[in-house]
Structure 1
Amino acid sequence: MFAKTDADKLNPIVENDVFKEMVMTEMTYNKSLTLLDLILHNHDVNDKQVLSTIKPLVAALKTISDKLLTNVEEAVKTETTDGPKLREQRRQLITAFFNAYKSYAGLYQQFSEAYKKDRSQFKEISAYIRGDQRLESEENPELANKILELIERKKPLDLQAHLIQPIQRGPRYLLLLNATEKLNSNVDETNIQELKKLKNIVADFLFSVNANIPKNNSEKPYEFGDYSKALLDWIATLNQPVVEEQSNYQPGDLTKGAIKALYGFFTSSKPTPESTPASEQTSNQQQAEEHKQDDETDFTFI
């Protein structure tokens, strides 16, 4: 159980639907990445170039999401003295996310075009994703059962619905941070400054990603690594976290009480469920100019 903190006393946001949902949607997103990672690594996708190239990026994004959730768990511990280190780790994780995001966005566009032209080529892997077919259950029943546990029973998502989730994540980070800022009238100065830093990081990356996304009429097809050759090095550095993770942590371990204690952490970061990206990035024009990019944001790939 998490003890009540000072943050709870000035905590109008913890009962807010936006705050609750941003916690739950990160867990749902993590669950989707876990399912994709298991399917892509246990089903032969070598004959489908776009999926074989997406595969390591899904694993990288899952690593980042796992570590964000672990960071949340550490942040809500009342005995922790690593506040500044946790905040720095969050900035590192968000930066790592957007390095992966830049590469993933181009690949998702390739997948989407291939899927529209001939979705039958993805029929088999889609059956695994939806739970209509099991992955070699007679050889690895434990894996097959794990996959079935991750599939939403009432309304299972198809392959495209799972693959688009990382694409939706970037704009939702910014929407969340904007919503959080508006809701927090009693936040201390440290958290206010942290919130602003994270907003600048997210808005800057969104400008950069959108400016560099390959367009539909691009003469040169996207190749993995075009934007982020150092992505795998980025992920490798995450194996040496600022704070030690609990070995028994599993996504979804956060309790209702933990969500209330997350106030201090989420004045700094986390995703939310709005749908379309907003053009609320004007406060980041200086960063955009440094990157020689336009003032307008057009997320045509969503």
Structure 2
Amino acid sequence: MLNLLTDIDGVSVGHATDLHRATGVTVVVFDRQANASVSILGGAPGSRDSAMLDPANSVQAVDALVLSGGSIFGLDATGGVLDGLRADGRGLAFGNTIVPIAAQAILFDLMNGGDKDWGEQNPYQRLGHAAYRAARKGAFALGTVGAGTGATTARLKGGLGSASAVTSKGHRVAALVAVNALGSPTVGTGPHFWAAPFEIDGEFGGLGYPPSFRREDTDLFVKGMEPAATTIGMVVTDARLSKAECHRLAILGQDGLVRSIHPAHFPSDGDTVFGAATGEKPVADPLEFMEICHLAMTTMARAVARGLYEATALPQPGARPAWRDIHAKAVSRP
């Protein structure tokens, strides 16, 4: 176990990172189509082909899921992913035509100091294709990479995080998230993470909660009124789940955002979580499914904290500091 999304067999992850523009794309590719659904609870979401993942609609499964910066421009990233999938013969056959299936969520990173003056054609289709071609099994980078490149939070640099766990019956559950929240994953101005109760093996510093809480720790503090927000991600399991059950998985992933970001789901957030299942292992009874849902919540919360813990500050002047820039002395990094 790598404590990453790729602990799910048959799942590959690829990044394309542009530090000059302070943006990027992350692509998750399934060896075989995975049943999938989505939960959208933020007030300002941006997505591509998310409607097809409504449990009432016909499409059951996807070849890939895409997370991207760039706001509405970033929606072009899926075009590059679809080009790669089609070239590789992936997708549904309609006569002589292959139609891949991919869905996407975007975050707003247009005001983080990166060069967004890209002229007549934005770079996201190219970045999407590059991320698809970079997709691999095994270890992948976290922090200021891929869709987390330009991400920020109320006080600190955001980033890409991931975490995984195993149920008592051996089902694997893992989360991947690009943390670009309007609110804060840390308690007040200190080093402690709201996700602390769920931490495993000191994966984000092992600091626990602070000895006590101050009133200002829970007061409203957001990064500004600009729409520079949205946390996007997914929970994936190797369990055999229906599309409706994947929808419930996505909802529990949203609960992980609530447990790790204060506040989540604001009017200017676009918080979107996919739920997907590769179908490798059957689920024997409702209690097994409830345990999978519980780990959907806790792995998402852990992934959020890891996204900040592993992030580095952007190279642009005036960029938000990373957690390690301010709090590294609070813990000896493993």
What range is the shorter-chain TM-score in?
under 0.3
| Structure-2-length-normalised TM-score | 0.23
| Structure-1-length-normalised TM-score | 0.24
Pair member with larger Rg: 1
Q: Which has the higher helix share?
A: 1
